[in-house]
């Protein structure tokens, strides 16, 4: 597939800097949740997931998009809301899922979420298709949600419902080990502390619920992903250690098996992504994977003047081009 920069995306100054692109939407973009409807659904393992429905009209449309947020995000962050608003304006229903523990209420089981979770995405997708009777569906994932989306599409393509006709992902740390090391850099300390603050709090809550399984010794001093994933993420979710988790859950290895048209957008100035997160060879060898590397965009940024961000317009165009 064609690979390269996207000359059509030329943000104004100072959005030519990756850190500005990364921080601006979170801090200064104006966005409201609007008229979405929250629903709680059961999971096969006896837990629950909270999802938000954004309908384009009074009833269900013929097509729907399921949106997955990023690490320590939720369905009402500005980037899923912006995507939902734009796709609604184009006549598509949108369901934004919350990872376990991200909807404002702790989940019932010891497990929470991680970069390789795909069973919850499958549960939400199947529930959405059944509820709305949709003829066509697409997936959109940001950052960690993008890694989950790509892994889901490639790990067992036969399991993906036939209604899924396309996917779009942005700012994906598809090589988890190298992306983790990239985030350890001094320049990314602000982001890392934001992520770790939320993760530490989630473990404290879980430790109160399951004191025989979890303890918080050493938790307060954890400032990077590796020790946290070694002690908590890996053993809770059945991995040997953090490196085993990174190896098995990185979506990079699943890209060659994807069987639906999929767009992966990785900004060249993304401060979170290592060089190995730009899968040029995999895209060149694939019939289905489209890789675009705009010069600008930061991490889940892609700001442009006006209400609609470039990422939202690009996603809608890709879905339209693939007859969603």
CATH number at 69 reads 3.40.50.1820
Give me the pLDDT at residue 2, please: 53
Same structural domain, 40 and 56: yes
In a domain, 3, yes or no: no
For the cut 60, the answer to whether the pLDDT of residue 242 exceeds it is yes
Asked if 92 and 228 sit in the same domain, the reply is no
Average pLDDT over residues 291-305: 95
- Contact criterion met (CB below 8 Å) for 16 and 297: no
pLDDT at position 323 is 72
Number of domains in the chain: 2
Parent domain of 201 = 176-249
User: In the 8-state DSSP scheme, what is residue 11?
Assistant: P
Residue-wise pLDDT tens digits, 207-233? 999 999 999 999 999 999 999 999 999
Q: Looking at the domain assignment, is residue 169 inside a domain?
A: yes
Domain-embedded: residue 268:
yes
Tell me, yes or no, whether 220 and 285 share the same domain.
no
Q: Are residues 224 and 107 in the same domain?
A: no
Check pLDDT > 60 for residue 4. Answer: no
Q: What is the DSSP string of 241-260?
A: SHHHHHHHH-GGGGGGG--S
128 lies in the same domain as 263: yes
**Residue at 313 is within a domain:** yes
Per-residue pLDDT at 322? 87
* Rounded Cα–Cα distance for residues 206 and 235 (Å): 14
Last residue of a domain, one of 249, 275, 296: 249
Q: Greater confidence, 64 or 1?
A: 64
Shared domain for 271 and 305, answered yes or no, is: yes
pLDDT in tens, 134-186: 999 999 999 999 999 999 999 999 999 999 999 999 999 999 999 999 999 99
Residue that terminates a domain, selected from 192, 217, 249: 249
Spatial distance between the Cα atoms of 322 and 324, rounded to a whole number of angstroms = 6
Q: For the chain, give the number of residues.
A: 324
Q: Are residues 134 and 101 in the same domain?
A: yes
Return the pLDDT at 278.
97
Residue 6: pLDDT band (50, 70, 90) is: low
- The predicted model gives 56-84 an average pLDDT of 95
Same-domain pairing of 54 and 198: no
Place 32 in a pLDDT band, splitting at 50, 70 and 90: confident
Percentage of the chain lying above the pLDDT 90 cut: 90
285, 290, 292, 297: CA torsion to nearest 10: -130
Using an 8 Å Cβ cutoff, are 75 and 98 in contact?
yes
| Same domain flag for 22 and 151 | yes
Per-residue pLDDT for 133 more than 90? yes
The confidence score (pLDDT) of residue 141 equals 98
Question: Where would I find the beta strands (DSSP E) of 127-229?
Answer: 136-142, 164-170
**DSSP three-state, residue 207:** helix
Report whether the peptide linkage leading into residue 14 is cis, meaning its omega lies within 30 degrees of zero.
yes
Q: Is the pLDDT of residue 31 over 90?
A: no
Domain end point (choices 223, 249, 275): 249
| Residue at 4 is within a domain | no
Task: Name the percent of the chain lying above pLDDT 70.
Answer: 97
Question: Which pLDDT score, from 0 to 100, does residue 260 have?
Answer: 97
């Amino acid at each position: 597939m064609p690979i390269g920069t996207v000359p059509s995306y030329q943000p104004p100054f100072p959005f030519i800097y990756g850190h500005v692109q990364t921080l601006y939407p979170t801090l200064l973009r104006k966005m409201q949740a609007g008229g979405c409807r929250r629903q709680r659904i059961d999971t096969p393992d006896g837990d629950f997931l909270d999802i938000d429905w954004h309908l384009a009209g009074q009833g269900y449309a013929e097509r729907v998009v399921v949106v997955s947020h990023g690490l320590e995000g939720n369905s009402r962050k500005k980037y899923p809301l912006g995507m939902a608003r734009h796709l609604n304006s184009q006549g598509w229903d949108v369901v934004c899922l919350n990872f376990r523990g991200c909807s404002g209420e702790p989940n019932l089981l010891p497990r929470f979420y991680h970069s390789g979770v795909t069973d919850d995405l499958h549960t939400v997708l199947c529930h959405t298709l059944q509820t709305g009777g949709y003829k066509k569906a697409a997936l959109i994932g940001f950052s960690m949600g993008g890694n989950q989306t790509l892994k889901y599409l490639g790990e067992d393509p036969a399991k993906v419902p036939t209604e899924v006709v396309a996917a779009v992902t942005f700012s994906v740390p598809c090589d988890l080990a190298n992306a983790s090391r990239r985030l350890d850099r001094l320049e990314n300390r602000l982001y890392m502390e934001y992520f770790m603050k939320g993760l530490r709090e989630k473990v404290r809550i879980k430790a109160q619920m399951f004191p025989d399984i979890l303890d918080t010794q050493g938790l307060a001093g954890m400032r990077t992903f590796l020790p946290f994933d070694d002690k908590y993420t890996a053993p809770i979710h059945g991995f040997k250690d953090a490196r085993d988790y990174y190896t098995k859950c990185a979506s990079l290895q699943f890209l060659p098996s994807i069987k639906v048209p999929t767009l992966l957008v990785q900004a060249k100035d993304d401060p979170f992504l290592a060089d190995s997160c730009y899968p040029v060879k995999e895209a060149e060898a694939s019939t289905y994977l489209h890789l675009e590397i705009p010069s600008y965009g930061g991490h889940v940024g892609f700001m442009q003047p006006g209400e609609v961000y470039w990422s939202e317009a690009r996603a809608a165009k890709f879905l339209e081009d693939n007859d969603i």
